[in-house]
Structure 1
Amino acid sequence: MRSHRKALACRQRRQQRRVSHHEGSVTPAGSSHSKVPSNEFVPSQAFQPAQQFNEFVPGQSFLPQPQIAQQPNVPTPINAFADPFLNQQTIQHTIAGLDGSQAQFSAFQPSVPTLPNQSYYQDTTGFKHPLNYHLSAAVGPRRDNMQPYERASADFFIPDDLREELHKKADAALQTFANSTLPQQVEHFHSLVALDTNNQKGQSFFGYPSWVYKATSMKDGHIYALRRIAGFRLTNEQAITSFNAWKRVNSASIVKVHDAFTGKMFGDSSLVVVTDYHPLSQNLAEKHFPQGRTNRSGNHVVPENDLWGYIVQLGNALKAIHEAGLAAKTVTASKILVTSKNRLRLNGCGVLDILQYEQRPQTTELQRMDLQDLGRLILSIAVRNPSVGQNTEKALQLAHRAYSERFIACLQWLLSPPVTSRDDLSPAHQSNQPSSLDEYNVTTLLNNIADKVISTLDSALHCEDELTNYLSRELENGRLFRLLTKINVILERPESVATSSSSTTTNPSLLNQPSSAWSETGERYYLKLFRDYVFHQVDHNGRPVLDLGHIITCLNKLDAGVDENIQLVSRDEQDMLIASYKEIKRGFESAWAELSKASTPSRR
């Protein structure tokens, strides 16, 4: 041991001789000890120098400032994590778009690959900073042979795919464009964002140029969809008054209508219809008749059960509309939204009632046209051709090859209404007539497919049970979150009220000083020890113990206040307390009550 100490002392004296002192300055050792990256470890051909950017500050530009370009001697760091599929032009284009100077990323615009073979990788031009969401994905296979009392981490949260879908919808709903050319305010709506990906101005389904925006209401803070009909001039005030009947139509298969008004907010005379907003929804035309794509899925057949579900949901919408004495007139692929998997909602209702108020046909005739439009829509999806109205007989023959006789018979009934009414027939022919024009309505349709309605209802009930199960997991998480919030508010709280000896006013210089009442005394002390017991446990080797089950179990026992005793040890291992969860909860509630009383001036 002594020889080892002598050798160590000699080594230290030799190192000290290598340092020369001159006028109080220290001269380090030679350049052989400087940290220079080796060319063998970091080859210059593999990594490209990254461009210099300023530190991002909210509210300021993220673009490189001119001062950086004026400093040629600034060393360029090596980006060891550079993406090999990104070039400098793509990076500069993406970073420059973050301050609104270029085209903003839209969650509603389909991504288009910009590099060869990029379809196999994530779209590099669409990523945002910061990331949209951070998910705790279940990596690796899950154990199937777990005991009844065992739980995996994923069992405490909603599934990752559902969480990601909800995050995407929330991101799309809250997306705004700072440099938009749209009006700042339309009536009591603000923060308008265009939902149409087609910027070409042309005639739409309604006979006028039409656009759809999402906007936030200043009355309730909710997000709505605004459908603008450009170039429409209101000639009769009764047209807007008659629109109030659509506000009373309430159905789960219809996009709820809220209001309609006219004005010159967009620089011209426009009609604006306010409806519910469903983020990241698509219409049936985009789902089944995509444009600009090669027809590689020509052999793909839409399952018959899905088409029955379409008929049931749209029949439910038409039943609510027809019972209100109205007609939809929008049963077409471009006006039916798909808000989730096979979940349909009829959109655009009531717009044609305002636009065609002067030349309105009879309501019964329009209701029968709704059923025919429903038949043509389902048939076009079945044969994957949106132009089946030109030759329905040939389309029915094609659909007969892939679908059942009952399905074809239902389409024939929708497409071929009876010619005469039962009142126009003689009593002798009434018994031989299988159906009449009076029986051609949506109620008869739903009665004839009652078993399919029951199947759709059964699927909806199963989906409700599944979502209720997921909601119960988040309910427990919310209860534990409130408990953790209270614990962090109580522990290690500084003093925020200090009075001077010469006056009764608060001295700002004494604020946030350690409080004697909230220091390591009383129930606050064993609450602090309990926090270490729950979150800061280590094993016998001093390694941190990351046990989610232990944390959840301790918090649940604290919330319930059980009589189980636990051993609390201080960090210096000089103090040890034996306390039950019931006693800890009593001190916890006492401290929270004292804080609540101090936070309300009237209760002091």
Structure 2
Amino acid sequence: MDERRSSIFSTNIPCRNEQLYGRCPYIDKGCFFQHKNQDNAPASSKPPSATAIDPQNSGFSTKLSINSPSFTPLKLSKTSISSASNKESVPLTRPKSYSSALSSGKNGAAAQQAANSPKTVSLMTSSSKAANALQTHKSSLARAASAVPFSPSKATTVSLKESASLTSLSNNKSVSNLNSISGASSPSGSLVNLHSLTRSASFVPQPSVPNSGQLSNADMSRHILARFPPFFHNLNEQQQKTTSFFLADDHLKWFTYLTQEFYQFANIPKLPSHVLSYHSLIPRRMIVTVLPVLRYATSIYKVIDGNNGLPYSFVQLRDFTLLNDRNITNVSPWTKVDSPHVIKIREAFTTHAFEQKSIVFVYNYLPSCPSLYDLFFASPVFRKRTSSFYFSQPLKATKEVLWCFASQLISALYSIHSSGLAAKMVSLKNVLMVGKMRLAIFGLGIMDVIQEESTEPLTSLQRNDCRDVGLILLALATDTENVTLSTAKAHLTRLKTIVSTDASLVELIEVLIFNEELRIQTLLPTMLSYMVNNYESVLLMEDVYETYLAEQVENDRLLRLLLKLEFLDDRPEYVDDPDWSASGVYFVIRLFRKYMFQVQTIDDASKKPTLQSTTTPPRKLLNKAHLLSCLNKLDAGTDEQILLEDEFTRIIMSFKEVKTTINTAFMELERRCSNNLSVKK
């Protein structure tokens, strides 16, 4: 007999054909159930009395019924009987649960005869002891048998795939729990006994949690405030210094300043209301200092593009006449330069909107960022004011600062030269600090339009760019504003005499200024270690910004919940709505809102905080932590029970039920608004 025909079908179970019809037509054809006239049965149909009953593998795949039709048992296989009897974990005694299960109903006589039969005792392993404990529960299943045709050929074991579906129907109990009980004596590693599967959770202690079947799928972390690294108290001094290298000392002040700059608007009558699709022109502080002398009066504005609503920067050259229309097309290659150290140009055009001939260059928006000239060579008062957003103290040109500036400027030149262009304008006044220790070159592309087409080769122009970067570094290192090519040697000689000067930095400046065969690509290997340091500092700064971003994500989801509640609160169309009355389904929303905004008072006797209604006057303490906790648990939809009450009503509900009610009410409100309905229909 194969594994499907379990050894449970032994002579200890009365034959139901004999009980229903008085005789079994298959008694001479191999029916191995117990018959009253057992002596008349052939010897081949009598299995040994010591045939083992495996309680672990026992079970019925269908339910018993007195109205079931007759069945046709298959012939007994000697191989399966011998294999079942050889199992060490199977007891040789007959379990009492089967006799007690069959003693109820109309099987009493046969069951009593089976109960009085001799018992044998055998050694039982730990797995068989656990299996024997299951038999006390089998009698209840036998009593619950309903009118389903019974057939001994039905399978008594199911695969793991089928057991998963059965587990979900049985209060979502874990399969791992039943494997610890029944897995040791299962017929095979991939099969699980059906009855032990559906009832094993009854013998395993389960936590008394409401709706435990759905609790395992709930995202319980959503009511905990998300935190991301780095935690500064876990960093040593060197790590904190590296992390804050590119991070503004007062970042909140810096973010506030950026927001104010973005939303700053003014109505200036002398300026045009719009220029092409750009409008809302606001003059910027960077009128003189941001660009070197271009032989034209220069003005810089912040504008808004009417096509996309984004801000941009206008650079206007007044009283400009374009001698060659083809020169304005020289801006097109610059629109393809992508570098974090180059402020990208968008377009250029001529206009008479300012009541005079002008040319306008449109750049990506940047706030009023200070230039290197403002940070190092302006008046002390102006230097302190311009650097206050980034630094708590005035910036000094130390070795680390100079190497950081050098690596960024060389990276910018590499992006420009790789595009087949030359900057033609790199100076202290158009190199801006757009973030703490982060530089970007502004105004590139202007010289390509306003200058006559030069016959000088591109390599010579690119060599001049390298020389300009060297002069900037030399001016910062020597704290000298006006450093030219003619005075560079004298300043280098003085720089070498300073003890604290880095020899490799002096060598870099000397190569940038005086090496006539220099190409920017040859400098990259020497700058690799400093670029790696900048890269690591930027990654650490990114961790900090991700922490701030995570906090804003938390604030965003809580704000959405508050907005939902405010949309639903005290709407005039809800006055006569029965669903929002004291007996309505949505009245719980009003109770929950009152529960959230309760005030906390301190009891003088017990010194313990208690929640009281907002109408209670004494010693109020606004408990914001209670409000945030309620919002987080509401967003997560936890199963925690809370008491919602007012003067006449008391309701116990979970946060999950309140969340479902709020979502339903809000979707109904959206439907009514989309259909332009003032009242519910």
Q: Relative to structure 1, is the Cα distance of residues 359 and 534 closer, same or farther in structure 2, using a 3 angstrom cutoff?
A: same
Partner of 2:568: 490
Amino acid at match of 1:522: G
Q: Does 1:522 align with 2:584?
A: yes
CA contact (8 A) 2:600 2:623 kept: no
> If the length of structure 1 is used for normalisation, what is the TM-score?
0.63
CA contact (8 A) 1:536 1:544 kept: no
DSSP-derived class of the 2:440 partner? strand
Partner of 1:178: 267
CA contact (8 A) 1:216 1:224 kept: yes
Q: Which moved more, 1:254-263 or 1:174-183?
A: 174-183
DSSP-derived class of the 1:259 partner? strand
Partner of 1:392: 488
Q: Does 1:358 align with 2:447?
A: no
CA contact (8 A) 1:184 1:192 kept: yes
What is the aligned length?
Answer: 407
Equivalent residues in 2 for 1:275-424, closer than 5 Å: 275-291=363-379, 301-389=396-484, 390-400=486-496, 401=498, 402-418=500-516
| TM-aligned CA deviation for residue 300 of structure 1 | 8.1
> If the length of structure 2 is used for normalisation, what is the TM-score?
0.56
Amino acid at match of 1:172: E
| TM-aligned CA deviation for residue 534 of structure 1 | 1.5
Q: Distance in 1 between matches of 2:416 and 2:383?
A: 36
Amino acid at match of 1:392: A
Partner of 1:469: 547
Amino acid at match of 1:470: Y
The structure whose Rg is larger is: 2
| TM-aligned CA deviation for residue 524 of structure 1 | 2.3
Q: Does 1:260 align with 2:348?
A: yes
Amino acid at match of 1:559: D
Runs (5+) with no aligned partner, structure 2: 1-232, 235-246, 385-393, 604-617
Amino acid at match of 1:549: A
CA contact (8 A) 1:213 1:227 kept: yes
Partner of 1:189: 278
Partner of 2:661: 587
Q: Relative to structure 1, is the Cα distance of residues 523 and 491 closer, same or farther in structure 2, using a 3 angstrom cutoff?
A: farther
| TM-aligned CA deviation for residue 360 of structure 1 | 4.6
Q: Does 1:553 align with 2:615?
A: no
Q: Does 1:241 align with 2:329?
A: yes
CA contact (8 A) 2:284 2:368 kept: no
| TM-aligned CA deviation for residue 224 of structure 1 | 0.9
Out of 449, 459, 465, the residue aligned to residue 537 of structure 2 is 459
Amino acid at match of 1:239: N
CA contact (8 A) 1:493 1:514 kept: no
DSSP-derived class of the 1:460 partner? helix
Q: Relative to structure 1, is the Cα distance of residues 394 and 309 closer, same or farther in structure 2, using a 3 angstrom cutoff?
A: same
Amino acid at match of 2:661: G
DSSP-derived class of the 1:175 partner? coil
DSSP-derived class of the 1:523 partner? coil
Q: Distance in 1 between matches of 2:382 and 2:599?
A: 59
| TM-aligned CA deviation for residue 393 of structure 1 | 2.0
Q: Distance in 1 between matches of 2:540 and 2:650?
A: 52
Deviations 1:543-568 (A, max 9, x none): 33422322222111111111111112
CA contact (8 A) 1:176 1:193 kept: yes
Amino acid at match of 1:170: T
CA contact (8 A) 1:182 1:192 kept: yes
Q: Relative to structure 1, is the Cα distance of residues 396 and 514 closer, same or farther in structure 2, using a 3 angstrom cutoff?
A: farther
Runs (5+) with no aligned partner, structure 1: 1-143, 146-157, 419-436, 497-512
| TM-aligned CA deviation for residue 520 of structure 1 | 3.6
Higher relative contact order (CA 8 A, sep 6+): 2
CA contact (8 A) 1:494 1:515 kept: no
DSSP-derived class of the 2:537 partner? helix
Deviations 1:182-218 (A, max 9, x none): 2222222112122146689xx9522222221111111
Out of 167, 171, 179, the residue aligned to residue 256 of structure 2 is 167
Amino acid at match of 1:452: Y
Q: Percent identity at matched positions?
A: 30
Q: Distance in 2 between matches of 1:347 and 1:560?
A: 48
DSSP-derived class of the 1:582 partner? helix
Out of 576, 581, 594, the residue aligned to residue 532 of structure 1 is 594
Coordinate RMSD, CA, aligned: 2.8
| TM-aligned CA deviation for residue 599 of structure 1 | 1.5
Q: Relative to structure 1, is the Cα distance of residues 516 and 162 closer, same or farther in structure 2, using a 3 angstrom cutoff?
A: farther
CA contact (8 A) 2:350 2:360 kept: yes
DSSP-derived class of the 1:252 partner? coil
Q: Relative to structure 1, is the Cα distance of residues 557 and 195 closer, same or farther in structure 2, using a 3 angstrom cutoff?
A: same
Q: Distance in 1 between matches of 2:382 and 2:494?
A: 21
DSSP-derived class of the 2:545 partner? helix
Amino acid at match of 2:293: F
Partner of 2:78: none
Q: Does 1:566 align with 2:642?
A: yes
Deviations 1:260-311 (A, max 9, x none): 0012222222111000121131111111110486999xx9841111111111
| TM-aligned CA deviation for residue 161 of structure 1 | 3.5
Partner of 1:81: none
Q: Distance in 1 between matches of 2:400 and 2:431?
A: 18
Amino acid at match of 2:308: D
Deviations 1:223-250 (A, max 9, x none): 1111111222112222122211111111
Amino acid at match of 1:594: E
| TM-aligned CA deviation for residue 519 of structure 1 | 3.7
Q: Distance in 1 between matches of 2:645 and 2:353?
A: 68
Q: Distance in 2 between matches of 1:345 and 1:220?
A: 25
Amino acid at match of 1:164: K
DSSP-derived class of the 1:243 partner? helix
Q: Relative to structure 1, is the Cα distance of residues 204 and 320 closer, same or farther in structure 2, using a 3 angstrom cutoff?
A: closer
Q: Distance in 1 between matches of 2:383 and 2:256?
A: 32
Q: Does 1:544 align with 2:620?
A: yes
| TM-aligned CA deviation for residue 357 of structure 1 | 3.9
Q: Distance in 1 between matches of 2:380 and 2:594?
A: 60
CA contact (8 A) 2:376 2:383 kept: no
| TM-aligned CA deviation for residue 255 of structure 1 | 0.6
DSSP-derived class of the 2:315 partner? strand
| TM-aligned CA deviation for residue 446 of structure 1 | 1.8
Deviations 1:355-394 (A, max 9, x none): 1142352111111100000000011011111212141122
